[in-house]
Amino acid sequence: MRTVALARVAIIMAAACGPAPASVQTNRTPSEPVPEPLYDPATDKLILTDNFDSYTGTVTGSSSFVSRYPNRRAVDRNDVVVPIENYVSLVSPGRGGSGQALRLAYGNPAIAGSTSTLDGAGDIVVGPEGRLGSVGAWNGTLPEVAGPYTHFLLTMWIRFSPGADPSVSHAGGVKGIMHWYNGGRYQHSPHRARDYGPTFVYPETRWDAGPPRPPNSYTGVKEWQTANGEAPRFSVYNDGNWHRATSEYWATGSGHIGVRWWLDGVLVIDNVDNVGDNHWGADYVYGQPITHWMVFGNFVNATAAQNNPAFTVDFDDWIAWTR
């Protein structure tokens, strides 16, 4: 997994999934931004919610993080698999000034520009893999709905160490929020890569929702909802404050297809029922329903991990649902 570069993943995924449907019905005016969805217990079906407050430790105590999230992976900067607690911790207070949050440490603190003193990983993968396949599998009390999900909504709060940048040492950055399906994933990655011409690297890191996804001016499709029609700059979100990320996926069987993504309540991308024809060569086609998510992925190789300034990324209050 680690050696597969972003662009390569995109090409493989595009080839495997085939062309997107030419068009799907919509009753929405394209110029009208869709408001950020909020979980409604009266009408929605909760998949999972977690505030990380009750855990006694990453791996220790009567209620450890790994007892709830048994499928995980941590790899050091030399590509060696290590115990997850080397790079994953619970920090207090969490969002809102109380409780706990989950902290992932990346990169090399010896590199200039580090925004964390923690020894950092080359790869961390944590999340509810294998926990969403049957009703009650999460903690036995939630009204969990078994996946995979053709309509999947996920909100999480994310905080980066101030000035964090996963894409200093390599344009590929890290994989970011990974929405997994059978055999692959839809990624929301911080990176600088462009797999289309004429310039192949952004001068600054972007937070993409694609593999990578070109500006609207290149695709001819209004997917990015940002003012310039491009992936948002990562520098807006690496200020040390909590930011809210909400993604909505539609895939196969629901009558709709595509992704929406809101950052701090602002719609940054929307291609639901308007995914285009992928003439630019590499994009997701949303043909597979979501099984689970994982964060926050890996650098493209050990050299990139070793040479990237250290940073941390925290997570709190994630909630997933379908409707």
Exactly one of 39, 52, 138, 293 binds Ca ion (CB under 5 A); that residue is: 52
Exactly one of 94, 107, 122, 210 binds Ca ion (CB under 5 A); that residue is: 94
* Rounded-to-integer distance, Cα 143 and Cα 137, Å: 10
Exactly one of 11, 33, 45, 53 binds Ca ion (CB under 5 A); that residue is: 53
SS (H, E, C) 197-208: CCCCEEEEEEEC
Helix (H) or strand (E) holding 130, with range, is: none
* Rounded-to-integer distance, Cα 241 and Cα 244, Å: 10
**Which amino acid is residue 299, in one-letter code?**
F
- What are the tokens at 150? 């053709």
Using the contact rule CB under 5 A, the part of the chain among 46-54, 171-179, 238-246, 247-255 near Ca ion is 46-54
Backbone angles phi, psi at 281, to 5 degrees: 105, -20
Using the contact rule CB under 5 A, the part of the chain among 40-48, 158-166, 223-231, 312-320 near Ca ion is 312-320
- By C-alpha distance, which of 3, 1, 8, 2 is closest to 193? 8
Using the contact rule CB under 5 A, the part of the chain among 47-55, 110-118, 134-142, 203-211 near Ca ion is 47-55
* Smallest gap from residue 100 Cβ to Ca ion (A): 5
Site for Ca ion contains 58 (CB under 5 A): no
Site for Ca ion contains 99 (CB under 5 A): yes
Site for Ca ion contains 51 (CB under 5 A): yes
* Smallest gap from residue 151 Cβ to Ca ion (A): 27
Cα four-point dihedral sign 301, 302, 304, 305 = positive
* Smallest gap from residue 63 Cβ to Ca ion (A): 14
Residues in the site for Ca ion, rule: CB under 5 A?
51-53, 94, 99, 316
